[in-house]
Amino acid sequence: MRILLICNLYDKNHVIRILVKNNIAQFENIIHVPNFEAAYDFIDKMLILRQGHIDLIITADKMMNNPFDIHLVDQIRYSSEEYSNTNFKVKSLPVILYDREITSSDYFQYGFNARIERHEYDNQQHLADSIRSIVKSGRSAILDDLDLLRIDSEELQNGYLPVLDPYYLLRIKPDPYYWASRTKILSESFIKTPRLLDYDWFLDNKVDWEKEIDRYEDIIKNLACYNRVNSEKRVLHALYNKALWLLRLDVFHKPVYEPALVKNGAEYEEPDYVLPSSLPGYISTNILEVKPHLFPILHRRKRKPGFKRNFQDAMEQVADYQRYVRKEKGRRELDKLVNYESSKLSFTLLASNDKEKEINLKRIEELQRGQFPKIKTETHNDRLRAVIAYFERNQRLHVLN
C-alpha cells in the first residue's frame, strides 16, 4: 500500500511506526509532506501529470502556516482529474483525518472517509483497522463499477476486452461522461478504453506467489553450493526474472535486467537490476546487485575482522555503479533508461544470509559505515521476510479472493 502522509515532523515518526508495525505499508511507500501546499504539489506532479498511484491519504486537519483557504479534502472531492494510468478519479481518493481533539464540525465540513482521534496511550489498532477497511471498500467498489458497466472482471483481467459486446458498444462507450458520473472509482478514460487493471491486489496471483515464495525459501534453506549447473544466474536471476514482484514489492516499476550503462565506446557498467521508482523524486531509483546467499561476509579472526575478499569485491562493484551514475554522463544514461529525471538514488547489495550477518553484526556495520556509507546491504533472508510481509499485506486487501 502506498500512502501520502500529511503532518508535521513531530507526528511523522509516530504515524510511520504504526503503519510499519501493523504491516500496513512498507517504509519506502509512506510519502511524507509537511503541509497542504506540498500535498497539492505531489498530487499535481505525481498523480495527475505522471499518472502515479497511491492508495490513501492520511492528514491532520489544521496545518500550521497553511496558506490555502480551501481544505485539501475539498480540493480532492471537487476534482475532475484522473490518476493511476487514468484508471481512477482523483475525487475518489480515500482520505483519513488523524488528529487530536476532533470536533463534529470537522466531519460535516469536509469529506473524510474516516475521522480517527489520536491518543498517545494506546496502540492505535483503530487506525490500522480503519485503513484496511477503507482501502478494501474502495477496491471492492471497482467490482461494483465493472458490474454497472457490464464488464466481466475475470474476462477483463485475462485480456478479453468488452468493447465487442453490443450493449457496451451501443449504450456505454458512446457516452463515457454520463457513465463516469455513475461510477464510484473508475474514470471516464477507463470507460472509453477498458483495459487490464494491472495492480497486484486486482490480479489472480495467490497460487503463483505462494509457489515463488516456497521456491525462494527452498533455495535459501537447501542449496548448498553454486556451480555451473546451479549458477547464480540460473538460480537467483532466473527466479527474479520469472517473479519480478520479488524485487518490485509495489515500490518500483518493472525492473530492468542487466542494462548496459555506457561509459564510452568500449566500456559500460552493467548492474544486475535497475529498479525504476514508482514516484520519482519521492521514492529512490534503486541499483541492485545480487550475489549468492552463501556469500561469507567477515574473516573469522577474533581481532578486528575485515570483509572477505568476495564480499569486499561485491561492495566495490556497487560503489563503482554509485560513482558512475553520480557523474553527468552516467546520470544521463540512467535517466534515458528509466525515462525520467532520477533525482533520488539508492544502491543495494543483496547477498549472504542471516547467519553470516549475526556472527558479528556490530563489526559489519562499522566497516560499512567507514568504507561504503551510501550502500545498503540486504541478506536473502531479509528479502524473503519483506516478500512474505508484502504477500500477507497484499492478500489481506485483495478483492478477487
Same domain, 189 and 229: no
Out of 99, 121, 144, pick the residue that ends a domain: 144
Can you list the alpha helix ranges (DSSP code H) found in 223-327?
A: 232, 238-242, 245-248, 309-325
Q: What pLDDT digit, counting tens, does each position of 289-331 carry?
A: 999 999 999 998 878 899 999 999 999 999 999 999 999 999 9
Dmax over Cα atoms in the chain, in whole Å?
A: 79
Out of 99, 117, 144, pick the residue that ends a domain: 144
CATH code of the domain covering residue 125: 3.40.50.2300
CA distance 283 to 340: 13
Question: Has residue 43 been placed in a domain?
Answer: yes
Q: The sheet that has 95-99: what strands, in order across it?
A: 30-33, 3-6, 56-59, 95-99, 114-117
Out of 199, 215, 238, pick the residue that ends a domain: 199
Determine contact, residues 50/282, Cβ cutoff 8 Å: no
Determine contact, residues 92/138, Cβ cutoff 8 Å: yes
Q: What pLDDT digit, counting tens, does each position of 164-196 carry?
A: 678 888 899 999 999 999 999 999 999 999 999
Question: Has residue 45 been placed in a domain?
Answer: yes
Question: Has residue 399 been placed in a domain?
Answer: no
Question: Has residue 401 been placed in a domain?
Answer: no
Same domain, 228 and 102: no
Same domain, 224 and 343: yes
Give first-to-last CA distance, the chain, whole Å: 17
Q: What predicted TM-score, i.e. pTM, was given to this entire model?
A: 0.92
Same domain, 92 and 137: yes
Neighbours of 295 (CB within 10 A): 20
More confident residue, 63 or 245: 245
Q: Residue 129 pLDDT more than 50?
A: yes
Same domain, 219 and 345: yes
User: Under DSSP, is residue 238 helix (H, G, I), strand (E, B) or coil?
Assistant: helix
Question: Has residue 182 been placed in a domain?
Answer: yes
Same domain, 187 and 303: no
Same domain, 81 and 174: no
Neighbours of 300 (CB within 10 A): 9
Same domain, 268 and 345: yes
Percent of the chain surpassing pLDDT 70 = 93
Domain boundaries, position 254: 206-394
Question: Has residue 371 been placed in a domain?
Answer: yes
Same domain, 122 and 32: yes
Total domains in the fold of the chain: 3
Question: Has residue 326 been placed in a domain?
Answer: yes
Q: What pLDDT digit, counting tens, does each position of 234-251 carry?
A: 999 999 999 999 999 999
Same domain, 216 and 256: yes
Q: How confident is the model at residue 266 (pLDDT cuts 50, 70, 90)?
A: confident
Question: Has residue 52 been placed in a domain?
Answer: yes
| pLDDT computed for residue 102 by the predictor | 63
Q: What pLDDT digit, counting tens, does each position of 324-363 carry?
A: 999 999 999 999 999 999 999 999 999 999 999 998 999 9
Neighbours of 339 (CB within 10 A): 10
Same domain, 122 and 253: no
CATH code of the domain covering residue 342: 3.40.1350.10
CA distance 297 to 357: 7
Same domain, 327 and 272: yes
Q: Provide mean pLDDT across the span 27-46.
A: 95
Considering only CA atoms, which of 73, 80, 89, 203 is closest in space to residue 145?
A: 89
